[in-house]
Structure 1
Amino acid sequence: MSDQGRVRNITDLARLAGVSPGTVSRALADSQLIAKKTREKIQQLAREHDFRPNVMARNLRIKRAGAIGVLIPLGHETGQHISDPFFMTMLGHLADALTERGHDLLLSRVIPKDPDWLNRVVDSGRVDGVILIGQSDQIDVIEKMASRYLPLVAWGANLPGKIHCSVGSDNRKGGEIATRHLIERGCRNFAFFGDPVAPEISERLEGCRAALSAVNMSSNLSILPAHLTAETAHPAISKWLDDTRSIPNGIIAASDVIAMSALRALAEHGVTVPGQVHVIGYDDLPFSNQTVPTLSTVKQDLAAGAAHLVDLLFRRIAGEETGSVVLEPELVIRQSS
């Protein structure tokens, strides 16, 4: 095609179609404001002339970035990676939901070194909103941002007195139902594996304690602040088993990854599950049905959680001050308990 006949921009395509540049812009965005016949004609001309609109320039004009920032703050778990099974599961659901909304996902794993880490993302102009996967130990930073920036939603605990919008399971209830299940299985001495620095894990521990208090077993609980990665959880649990004088017959793990690490460490110490020890995790990640024995757990509906995160975020982008969403946890009984 000669330079004279080449379609370089929307104005050229509008002249060729015999319509205004605004009509071309709307037609290429598949706007229902343009008649279907006109829309199809313009889209066909664009294909014939191999014309693709400059999305970045369009976004600048309409003050839209076309991307959502998905941040994983790791203030208390600096060794955790994006390849973590929980993150990968949640990210898959978020990516699907955001794609359906016509937005890209801008992913960042953040090790906070100063309180401005969230400001830098929000003020960069690169995103239309932010989803946080986890609150970590960054509640103060999140709260400060929420006071000035509406399109912010976090996966995590729904904390009383806090203003930021969150989506997550009822962690306290989840901890309770996990512990009650082990009590019903005949367990009388318990261990909780998880670091309560993170709000979600703290609430799960509260639920565990509440269930034990209800049956006058509060003193029958040991706590190991195991981290969320198998690389750190397994050696910590192994050492704890070496050092403890009496292995409890009920283990409540704050995550499936920690529970999987516990299963491995117990097997290495010759302790049978569920013969000598009953183990239950939290999350119901895909691998929990593949461990040996298969893992009992408390299910968080991550697909529903991701859908709520995206729905609330886009409502907030539109200016709505939404509330938080708390999902019901579900006990999933398998071989380990």
Structure 2
Amino acid sequence: MSDIARIAGVSISTVSKALSGSSLVRPATRARIEEIALAMNYGVDESARNLRLRANRTVSVVVPQGPFLRQTLSDPFCLALIGRIADVLSDSGHDMLLSRTDTRRPATMARDFETGRARGLIVIGQGNHHSQLNEMAARGIPFVVWGAELGGQDYVTVGGDNLEGGRLATEHLLAQGARRIVFVGDTGLPEISLRHAGYLRAHRDRRLPVPPQATALLPWDRQDLPAAIDQLLTSDPGIDALFVSSDAAAMRITNALRGLGRPVPEDILVVGYDDIAMAAHFHPALTTVGQSTDMAGVALVQTLAAILDGASPASVRLSTQLFCRASSIRGAGRIAAE
């Protein structure tokens, strides 16, 4: 792309906008850039065809994956979000390209745009790549991120109100009488960190001390989960509730607790996050914080469309809602047994 910019006598950002069909670039300039790109065989054959037709209608949905990022395409929330994005893109006449990128090579996140396979990107999750995403924005790459709004952010995000969601979940557990609540999740990730901040805020609002064992990172996707939970409970026998940062993890932890003879909610209360479809049908039904994948899919596509049109939209923060179910209600297990 830099070679095209040099030959055309324009900036890389202008080349990026021209090749994505932005109306901010004058027609004559866009046509010259497209001619140079074609002459240089820029991108793949499909890209060249799209440039000739000026009709690239493909959006790439990028899902980062790495050894320390437990986000897989089989995750129910991720699946539901991608499915909704696909529906909205299809309704607007776009095709969807699904891509995985290695978090150890963050530069690959922009690959589908830079090769001309897609006119814009929707990135699912920030991971620990805030600076790389800022660099992508500085290069004029059109993209939007599902994630948390952070300080010093040059890119646009769409995400749930994680701070409020964390506060709602913790306040509910405190209202149930829990006083030794452990937050389970990787607080090194932006969204999880904000949920943890909500956990802390709920304690402050009630002027209650945070328990000594305030956070835990349990291997919920490994076979040694029961042993890790047993070690946690042994280290602090007074633990009476877990606020788990995802529903998928909360369900596995609940099953592990049952196997250890610590049933939910009789012994320990559990709250998850995401309100995936299975949460209401789990046993016991899982209390969780919901963030609407329907609203998220629409907001992500609309925000990307605005960026492609040359606008500078603000980040979007979607509301969250607590769904109270049996897993966090004192006495719910006894009532169900009766």
TM-score between both structures, scaled by the size of structure 2: 0.78
Match of 1:81 among 48, 54, 72: 72
Listed one character per residue, the Cα deviations across residues 256-281 of structure 1 (whole Å, up to 9, x for unaligned) are 11111221111011112212211101
Amino acid at match of 1:87: C
User: By how many angstroms is 1:235 displaced?
Assistant: 4.6
Q: Does 1:203 align with 2:194?
A: yes
Amino acid at match of 1:226: L
Map of 1:3-152 to 2, 5 A cutoff?
59-75=50-66, 77-152=68-143
User: By how many angstroms is 1:77 displaced?
Assistant: 3.7
8 A contact 1:212–1:218 mirrored in 2: yes
8 A contact 2:160–2:291 mirrored in 1: yes
User: By how many angstroms is 1:242 displaced?
Assistant: 5.7
Amino acid at match of 2:303: L
Moved more, 178-187 or 98-107: 98-107
Aligned to 1:295: 286
- Which secondary structure does the structure 2 equivalent of 1:70 belong to? strand
Q: Does 1:215 align with 2:206?
A: yes
RMSD: 2.2
- Which secondary structure does the structure 2 equivalent of 1:110 belong to? strand
Q: d(CA) in 2 for partners of 1:180 and 1:237?
A: 26
Instruction: Note closer, same or farther for the CA distance 1:234–1:257 as it changes in structure 2 (3 Å cut).
Output: farther
Matched residues, number:
283
- Which secondary structure does the structure 2 equivalent of 1:137 belong to? coil
Amino acid at match of 1:285: I
Aligned to 1:272: 263
Aligned to 1:17: none
Instruction: Note closer, same or farther for the CA distance 1:234–1:126 as it changes in structure 2 (3 Å cut).
Output: same
User: By how many angstroms is 1:150 displaced?
Assistant: 5.0
Match of 1:249 among 205, 227, 240: 240
Structure 2: give runs of 5+ residues left out of the alignment: 1-45, 329-338
Match of 1:153 among 127, 130, 144: 144
Aligned to 1:258: 249
Aligned to 2:5: none
8 A contact 1:209–1:218 mirrored in 2: no
Aligned to 2:218: 226
User: By how many angstroms is 1:124 displaced?
Assistant: 1.0
Structure 1: give runs of 5+ residues left out of the alignment: 1-54
Amino acid at match of 2:184: F
Identity %: 35
User: By how many angstroms is 1:82 displaced?
Assistant: 1.0
Q: d(CA) in 2 for partners of 1:335 and 1:191?
A: 19
